[in-house]
Amino acid sequence: MTWDRFAIASNEERGELDSIQYFESGITKYTSIIRDKISKSASLKIDFSDEWSLFAGTSLEDIDYTQPIAKGQGRGVFSLTISDPMRYYFVLATANEKVVLSEQHLPMAGGYNFRDLGGYKTQDGRRVKWGKIFRSDDLHNLNDVDLAYLASIPLVSIVDFRSEKEMMQAPDKNPVSVKQNYPLCISPGNLMTVATSKDDLYKLSVDEADTLMKGMNTLLVTDPICIDRYRKLFSLLQNEENIPLMFHCSAGKDRTGMAVALVLSSLGVDEETILDDYLLSNSYLADKYAEYKNASPALKSLFEVKPEFLKSGLDTIKKEHSTIDAFLKNILNVDIEKMRELYLF
């Protein structure tokens, strides 16, 4: 994922940032940063033929434009020399274009569905800022290197949508940078609250499992407690002292998936892009739930996501509130202008 409306005009003699200009870059879809989840090593993937230079820093302000960390021409995957396990931001420059890059999928050895919401294009042509809002599955199995990476962001706040029982069974491991933890329990996202027992889940047909997941997503946007939790999430996001912020549940796909859809909607990202982002959980969680999915075809539906699951919730919002914007403003008390001021370029 890239950020193709961000271009940098630098003073060649001083190597400093003089101004920020916005334009639509043609090289965006042909470039990406890849980080190995174990070693945290970084690679640049390029699929165009021009000459290029890559600059890096632990923040956009710290990028040194006098010293590229890599140069080349043409297609390929190029290893990058950076100080692991830090989070880095990159500027890729060709003769005519410059683009900001970072990894969307965070390299967690002890996690699966850790992602940066940055880089997505909005309907008015802007982009979501990198390094501000993150989503994930549980943080229970993170190792010291994972935690050091998250601290380098630096992650400040964590919102946990899991039930008290889930939190006790798999308590989060937090990076040292975290100042605030917010337990905002959303029980309908826990499958055991919508099934009598674990055995019931194994007995479900695929159609029954699909119906269960669609019902859960509808409940997430109609149940007063769920609505209250999402309202509180947006309240936190509208306070800059809480940023960078990560929200999560156990898998990072249902309770968290709906939260992501609402956040991206508030920023003006179109529904097709939101659904594409939602479906990425299937790739990132494939290993985490392989045993369960192999045990029963119905369980595959429960541990994956389908477009119709999220759409059942979004369509319910539209039916009851006319538009998602109306739901955000009138029910979740979202200041859309402020959200876009804080999180868009």
Sheet with strand 51-57: strands edge to edge = 2-3, 98-101, 89-93, 51-57, 70-73
What are residue 232's phi and psi, to 5 degrees? -70, -35
**pLDDT tens-digit profile of 64-116?**
999 999 999 999 999 999 877 899 999 999 998 888 889 999 999 999 999 99
Task: Output Rg (C-alpha) for the chain, integer angstroms.
Answer: 21
Least confident of 117-126, 142-151, 187-196, 328-337: 187-196
Q: Evaluate whether 2-101 and 115-343 have a shared fold.
A: no
Residue 31: band (very low, low, confident or very high) from pLDDT cuts 50, 70, 90: confident
Q: Output the CA torsion 340→341→343→344 (10° steps).
A: 80
Average pLDDT over residues 227-242: 98
115-343 in CATH: which number? Answer: 3.90.190.10
pLDDT value, residue 216: 94
If one looks up domain 2-101 in CATH, what number appears?
A: 2.60.40
Confidence of residue 199 (pLDDT cuts 50, 70, 90): low
pLDDT at 126 over 60: yes
- Residue 5 confidence (pLDDT): 33
| Confidence at residue 205, expressed as pLDDT on a 0 to 100 scale | 85
Across 100-104, 151-155, 185-189, the highest mean pLDDT is recorded for: 151-155
pLDDT band with cut points at 50, 70 and 90 for residue 189: low
Which residue(s) pair with 90 in the sheet?
A: 56, 101
Q: Between residues 204 and 223, which one has the greater pLDDT?
A: 223
Q: So what's the pLDDT on residue 26? A: 53
Query: In the chain, what are the domain boundaries?
Result: 2-101, 115-343
Phi then psi dihedrals of residue 137, to 5 deg: -90, -165
Is the pLDDT confidence value at 29 over 90?
no
Q: Are 27 and 53 in contact (CB under 8 A)?
A: no
CA 55, 345, 59, 156 dihedral sign is negative
Q: Please, which pLDDT band fits residue 194 given cuts at 50, 70 and 90?
A: low
pLDDT at 9 over 80: no
Task: Band the pLDDT of 320: cuts 50, 70, 90.
Answer: very high
pLDDT, mean over the chain:
88
Rounded to whole angstroms, how far apart are CA atoms 187 and 215?
13
What's the CA gap between 253 and 284, in Å, rounded? 10
The model's confidence at residue 3, banded by pLDDT at 50, 70 and 90, is very low
Quote the CA–CA distance of 263 and 269 in Å, as a whole number. Answer: 9
CB neighbours (10 Å) of residue 171?
13
Given a cut of 70, whether residue 16 has pLDDT beyond it is no
The tens digit of pLDDT for each residue in 254-292 reads: 999 999 999 999 999 999 999 999 999 999 999 998 887
Both structure tokens of 16: 């400093």
Band (193; pLDDT cuts 50, 70, 90): low
pTM metric for this prediction? 0.89
pLDDT of 339 reads: 99
